[in-house]
Copies of this chain bind each other. A is one copy, B any other.
């Protein structure tokens, strides 16, 4: 959770986010900011060069979406711990190395939280016999290029775009297949 200035006033509260009225210099009306937990997005690739994606129904937009694995950073967790947990829970994959690439602001005009982006090479299926697939989340091993993924109409979440673009700019993935 991002810390909030003392002058913020809580005006609406749910289990998942809070709306606060923040006094705003030069305006008689406050800015309504939305506080929620940070989250992680993960660009994970397999040893044979596939990208690990998830497909799920998103009720806020009433359609299925293809995305990078992602999830919230829970209290007491580091972002890397959250990334390891989310990759396993959503996809059943594990890896040795989780490389931090960048943070970004997912909704800069309104949300106070951050996204933490990790690149994960050489991911492999867990050998834990107790692992259970998360309900409602479909694993997709994507074998196309980064460009073709970005042009795929099912891949329409800006936070997935941002994280994948970070991996591209850092030279961890290529725009087109070699």
Residues of chain A at the chain B interface (Cβ within 8 Å)? 5, 11-12, 14-17, 19, 22, 24, 29, 31-34, 58-62, 65, 67, 102-112, 115, 147, 150-151, 156-159, 161-162, 164-166, 168-170, 175
Look across to chain B and name the residue whose beta carbon is closest to the beta carbon of A58. B108
Q: Are B166 and A150 in contact (CB under 8 A)?
A: yes
Collect the chain B residues with CB atoms within 8 Å of residue A17's CB. Answer: 32, 110
> What are 30 residue pairs bridging A and B, where the CB atoms are less than 8 Å apart in the complex?
A5-B62, A11-B12, A24-B59, A33-B60, A58-B105, A58-B108, A60-B108, A60-B110, A60-B111, A102-B156, A103-B156, A104-B156, A104-B157, A105-B156, A105-B157, A106-B106, A106-B158, A107-B107, A107-B111, A107-B158, A108-B157, A108-B158, A147-B169, A151-B170, A158-B158, A158-B161, A161-B161, A162-B162, A162-B165, A165-B165
Partner of A162, one of B19, B65, B158: B158
Closest 3 CB pairs of A and B: A161-B162, A158-B162, A150-B169
A29 CA to B105 CA, complexed, in Å: 28
Contacts A111-B60, A168-B175; A158 near B156 (Cβ below 8 A) = no
Contacts A170-B151, A175-B175; A108 near B165 (Cβ below 8 A) = no
Collect the chain B residues with CB atoms within 8 Å of residue A112's CB. Answer: 60-61
Collect the chain B residues with CB atoms within 8 Å of residue A104's CB. Answer: 156-158, 161
A79 CA to B156 CA, complexed, in Å: 18
A34 CA to B110 CA, complexed, in Å: 11
> What is the CB-to-nearest-CB distance from A55 to chain B, in angstroms, rounded to a whole number?
12
